[in-house]
Amino acid sequence: MQEMRMKFGEKPLAVITGGSTGIGLELGREFARAGYDLVIGGQDEGKLAAAAAALRGEGAEVVTVAADLTRPEEVERFHREATASGRPVAIFCANAGVGMGGGDFTETDLHSELRLIDLNVRSQVHLTKLILPAMAARGEGRILFTASISSMMPGPFESVYSASKAFVHSFAEALRNEWADRGVVVTGFMPGPTDTNFFHRAGMDETPAGEGKKDDPAQVAHQAFKALMADRHHVFTGSLKTKVQGLVTNVLPSPALARVHRGMTEPNDRRAARSGGPGAAAIAGGIALAAVGVAAAVGVGRRSRALEEAE
């Protein structure tokens, strides 16, 4: 740990879980370019080493901590190693998470879903409980939570994942309210389908969402970074399509949102066998009609804001 103290200079420190690939790695690039040193976490030491090399190329000093955050003792160890340099954590990106789909609730694996809850929910609370008190004592710090557009709607065929992200979204908003006037900024961001390994790991390759066009993780991370630094409470990140879908969640009732979600996550073989259900064209048409209603409801100013954020 002495070597860590020698390597780390006077730059502010950002800690990112799930920082070896995907959105987490791109968040690391954003903070490195903004003048932060980094601690990144993940389970695969090889991927962490490759990510660290890439981030050092952006000018940051990087420490990696390989840990399985589904285990409470590993959360504690991650925190000890992330803060071992003695430097305050200026930014905490609670990004680690995993998906689960590929079938209905009777077909998915209970053990995997409980591990999902451990990572997506319990570890977020645990690690935030360890990091936030030091920020509170200083009266400064920023926390960025990775939620999902799925947090805003019921999630058939990934019901546990969507519920876990709904928890993250609510948790972030509650903490923000607690700390808004005490120097700690809390922001949540909701990406849509993003070009990462998420759908493959979740068993969702053979779904419309898994096969469809996805947002650039660099764009998603850049918009999340800007939202955090601008002290916004939450933001839908990615393409304009994702932002419009996010606005739709504010006006459609839950049963309609569940049908929209099902159209993206129901396995293809089930959709082909099911008669009379909404097809992809019907789902797309419903989203388009809802988007028109949203455009009329939110007004010109909000539409302009969404377009600006898409840049």
Q: How confident is the model at residue 9 (pLDDT cuts 50, 70, 90)?
A: low
Return mean pLDDT, the chain.
86
Residue 256: how many other CB atoms lie within 10 Å: 15
Residue 61: how many other CB atoms lie within 10 Å: 19
The catalytic residues are 161
Strand ranges across the sheet with 13-16: 62-66, 37-42, 13-16, 89-94, 141-146, 184-191, 234-237
Query: Sign of the C-alpha dihedral, residues 281, 282, 284, 288?
Result: positive
**Structure-token match 């969404």, residue found:** 306
* CATH code, 2-238: 3.40.50.720
pTM of the model: 0.85
How confident is the model at residue 196, as a pLDDT?
79
Residue 119's identity, in one-letter code, is L
Q: How confident is the model at residue 308 (pLDDT cuts 50, 70, 90)?
A: very low
Question: Taking the domains of the chain in order of start, what are their residue ranges?
Answer: 2-238
Report pLDDT digits (tens) over 25-45.
Answer: 999 999 999 999 999 999 999
Distance from C-alpha of 195 to C-alpha of 214, rounded to nearest angstrom: 5
Name the phi and psi angles at 29, rounded to 5: -60, -40
Kindly tell me if the per-residue pLDDT of 282 is higher than 50: no
